[in-house]
Amino acid sequence: MSYVLRCIACGAEYPPGEIRASCDCGGLLDVRHDLSSLPVSRELFDERLNRWDPENPIYRSGVWRFRELVLPVEESKIVSRPEGNTHLYRSERLSRWAGLEELYLKHEGENPTGSFKDRGMTVGVTQARLLGCRAVACASTGNTSASMAAYAALAGLSAIVFIPQGKIALGKLAQALAYGAKTLEVEGDFDAAMGLVRKLCEKLGIYLLNSLNPFRIEGQKTIVFELIQQLGWEAPDWIVLPAGNLGNTSAFGKALGELIDLGLIERLPRLAAVQARGANPFYRSFREGFRRRERVKAQTIATAIRIGDPVSYPRAVRALRLTRGLVVEVTDQEIMDAKAQVDAAGIGCEPASAAAVAGTRRLVQEGTIKQGERVVAILTGNLLKDPQATIAYHLGELPGIEPAYANRPLAIEPTLEAVKEVL
């Protein structure tokens, strides 16, 4: 195997076949590929994308197309739906609204279970199977549990999910139950559920599939690989993404570092991580030059990023330093108005995803992002994940939020006159 697991805190290395969630020192682990020996090129990835290869159906996946940079593994062992190959939209309406000439939206809500978590999960569950684990677990604000439940079911593994009671969106809870995961509603928030699942996995030898798992990060890197491939291997100026537990921010930084090292791109885009104002520990740390790791009690309508103590903090700091990145915060009002704009453009997303667009708009208004720069915002999850938040917005029923773009349903009598009156 051409990789090792390396601790990002102390540098200790572990062989690929070892089952462990973190280093003996408590630090997070990274998958380190030997990039110098990898026979990869733009042409190789383009050829796989453009050709249906019956010998290698796995290249149909937007994750496994980049397999050398993800996980060197035999094809027959891979658990794939397949995932990825999500669209890169360009909307004039949204570009104008954000104040840009070129805003692209990469829609990760088009993955098999409706969020980017599938890109990490195909790799995490494949690794669980390789290691011979029979059960997998995670704490989740919803999408991780939906994705893990689906991939575990595909692989024939049992799945245990820990969710904060009453704080996950309806569509996500439905998925976890439907895919057959044992679903435990923790009386507490995500951070409490996270602490609990870490202890459980350690005690019972269950494979932990939160984004502190380094193999999930490897899969999520392909969001960046794929979007840069879709732009003809030309890096954009900015990549803007919502930030919760900071797994994706970490994955994006790692992906960009590897693309530069491999010579697959010539320059680094800047990363902009967007947090909700009520769940902004990373933003607080950023404001202080990352001198301190901040923790908060999290509160936001964007449940997917309602996290007060992000697990991947040190990796994400590294990602921002590498890319001259920054963190910005937006209010729930801005998030829901941005969502209404994304939705009304015919694209649609869940609340946390809209934070990327709200953050883009704010950075343009501040003058940090220039009007002519090329920006890709990541839509992390599907519109149908959280119907309650969407409907409450349009009905004007969200406490503290004035819906600027409400589209209320109109009740009418069953007569033509009544219809004429409201049109």
Ligand X SMILES: *Cc1c(COP(=O)(O)O)cnc(C)c1O
Q: Which residue is nearest to ligand X (CB)?
A: 381
Out of 1, 9, 178, 404, the residue judged to bind Zn ion by CB under 5 A: 9
CA within 13 Å, CB half, 325: 30
Burial of 184 (0-12, 13-18, 19+ CB in 10 A): middle
Choose the one of ligand X, Zn ion, none that binds residue 304, judging by a C-beta under 5 to 8 angstroms depending on kind.
ligand X
Total residues at interface with Zn ion (CB under 5 A): 7
- Which lies closer to ligand X via its Cβ, residue 58 or residue 356? 356
Rounded to a whole number of angstroms, the minimum distance from the CB of residue 321 to Zn ion is: 19
Q: Which is nearer to ligand X, 80 or 220 (CB)?
A: 220
* Angstrom distances, CA of residue 257 to CA of 191, 221, 251: 29, 10, 10
Q: Is 245 in the site for ligand X (CB under 6 A)?
A: yes
Q: Can you spell out the DSSP letters for 212-269?
A: TSHHHHHHHTHHHHHHHHHTTT---SEEEEE-SSSHHHHHHHHHHHHHHHTTS-SSPP
Separation of alpha carbons 146 and 126, rounded Å = 17
Q: SS3 for 381?
A: strand
CB of 308 to ligand X, least distance (A): 12
Residue of 217, 246, 342, 357 that binds ligand X (CB under 6 A): 246
Choose the stretch contacting ligand X; rule: CB under 6 A; options: 67-75, 84-92, 349-357, 395-403.
Answer: 349-357
d(CA 24, CA 27): 7
Shortest Å distance, C-beta 301 to ligand X: 13
Instruction: Please give the helix or strand (H or E) that residue 193 lies within, else none.
Output: helix 190-204
Contact code string over 106-145 relative to ligand X, x by CB under 6 A: ---------x-x-------------------------x--
Cβ proximity to Zn ion: between 58 and 316 the closer is 316
Joined tokens for residue 73: 């593994």
Q: Are 377 and 328 in contact (CB under 8 A)?
A: no
Q: Which is nearer to ligand X, 73 or 183 (CB)?
A: 183
Taking residues 256 to 295 in sequence order and writing x for each that binds ligand X by CB under 6 A, - otherwise, the string is ----------------------------------------
Residue 319: what residue type?
A: A
Binding status of residue 352 toward ligand X by CB under 6 A? yes
Please list every residue from 301 through 320 that binds ligand X, using CB under 6 A.
304-305
| Rama region for 205: left / alpha / beta (φ>0; ψ in -120 to 50; rest) | left
Angle at 224 between CA 275 and CA 209, to 5 degrees: 70
Pick the closer one to ligand X by CB: 95 or 382: 382
Rounded CA-CA distance 403/38 in Å is: 51
Stretch that binds ligand X, among 127-135, 239-247, 263-271, 284-292 (CB under 6 A): 239-247
Q: How far apart are CA 423 and CA 407, in angstroms?
A: 13
Site for ligand X in 380-399 (CB under 6 A): 380-381
Distances from the Cα of 398 to the Cα of 372, 376, 387, 403, angstroms: 35, 29, 13, 8
Sole window of 7-15, 50-58, 82-90, 128-136 interacting with Zn ion (rule: CB under 5 A):
7-15
The mark string for 19-38 relative to Zn ion (x by CB under 5 A, - otherwise) is ----x-x-x-----------
Smallest separation (angstroms) from Zn ion to the CB of 24: 6
Q: Locate 254 and state its tokens.
A: 């790692």
- What are the phi and psi torsion angles at 75 (to 5°)? -60, -40
Q: Does the footprint of Zn ion cover residue 7 (CB under 5 A)? A: yes
Residues that bind Zn ion (CB under 5 A): 7, 9-10, 12, 23, 25, 27
Residues that bind ligand X (CB under 6 A): 115, 117, 143, 211, 242-249, 304-305, 350, 352-353, 380-381
